[in-house]
Amino acid sequence: MSDLLSLSHVTKLYRQGGMLSRRHVTAVRDVSLRLGEEPEILSIVGESGSGKSTIAAMILGQTAPTSGILNFRGRPVAVHGKVERRAFMREVQPVLQNPFEAFNPLKKVDRYLFETARNFSPDGIRPSQADIERMADRALVHIGLTLAEVKGRFPHELSGGQLQRTAIARALIPQPRLLVADEPVSMVDASLRMAIVNLFSQLKKELGLSIIYITHDLATAYYISDRIIIMKKGEIVEEGGARAVLDNPQHPYSRALKEAVLSASPDMEPASLV
Ligand SMILES: Nc1ncnc2c1ncn2[C@@H]1O[C@H](COP(=O)(O)OP(=O)(O)OP(=O)(O)O)[C@@H](O)[C@H]1O
Ligand SMILES: [Mg+2]
């Protein structure tokens, strides 16, 4: 079976201390992973500075690896070229950490949805306003909102949860195959997190989306992921099915994570049982 995404021996060094410095930090070291064609949720967890966001940025083509190969559908992830980038972004969309930063406070949120709909209209034909509104509404309905609820609103007129759901809806408009969500619920009220990440499970089922879910929040990762990757200092230290990793952690770090899950989530139901 062909791969949706594959990373092969990917390493990323960042220069430290200015252009002329020879010092480097190894943000990601020799990481290999793959997503198959079958929709799945892959969580990447690990302590701060372990390289999670660097992996996300490389998968999104925002930065190139220092060495190694990243392929999406068998072709190198598009880092350059306006046409190539747009074709790539149609299939791979980001969900950002902080919805209040993703949206300009002075701009109505519907404008983001409309701009994305205009930029990613099917067939590249210039869509009518009615088509644009239909695309935005269709995406919003998938995450439990309607265009009527967000139309004409400024970001501060929506709750953090509504705004993050709107950001997820925006990412759905191009009808992508893969979402890369880097800490998507860390700025959202703890009581709403599970509801938002449960949307990911639902989107996987309804739309056949694959999702890379990057988080510190192990409880949510455990309940929605098919697979979990645990990173430490730029390297993958453990990888496997969510249940397997947390039921039988091999690495001291994964053992600590398991304890965090157990103590953090006595009242949570696994998504698969809801
Ligand atoms: N643009 C950059 N320039 C220089 N160093 C960077 C840059 N981005 C990340 N780093 C360094 O690379 C390492 C990995 O950072 P990264 O942001 O990928 O970690 P992370 O796992 O996402 O952390 P967090 O959980 O805090 O978000 C860190 O040591 C970080 O300081
Ligand atoms: Mg990060």
Domain with 180, as residue range(s), is: 3-273
Number of domains in the chain: 1
Contacts of 268 (CB under 8 A, 6+ apart): 194, 219, 223
| Ligand 1 neighbour 25 (Cβ under 6 A) | yes
DSSP 232: E
For 64-68, 78-82, 230-234, which range has the lowest pLDDT when averaged over its residues? Answer: 78-82
Q: Choose which residue among 31, 52, 55 to substitute to test ligand 1 binding: the one with the highest number of ligand atoms within 8 A of its C-beta.
A: 52
Whole-number mean pLDDT of the chain? Answer: 89
Pick 241 or 1 by higher pLDDT. Answer: 241
Among all bound ligands, the one having the nearest atom to the CA of 52 is 1
Domain of 34, CATH number, reads: 3.40.50.300
What average pLDDT does this structure show over 48-74?
A: 96
Other C-beta atoms within 10 Å of 121: how many?
Answer: 17
**Long-range contacts of 141-147, Cβ-Cβ distance < 8 Å, separation of 24 or more:** 142/169, 142/172, 142/202, 142/203, 142/206, 142/207, 143/168, 143/169, 143/172, 143/199, 143/203, 144/199, 145/169, 147/110, 147/113
Instruction: Please indicate whether residue 270 or residue 208 has the higher confidence score (pLDDT).
Output: 208
Q: Is the pLDDT of residue 264 over 80?
A: no
pLDDT at 99: 76
Q: Is the pLDDT of residue 239 over 90?
A: yes
Averaged pLDDT, 116-144: 91
- Hey, how many other C-beta atoms are within 10 angstroms of the C-beta on 107? 12
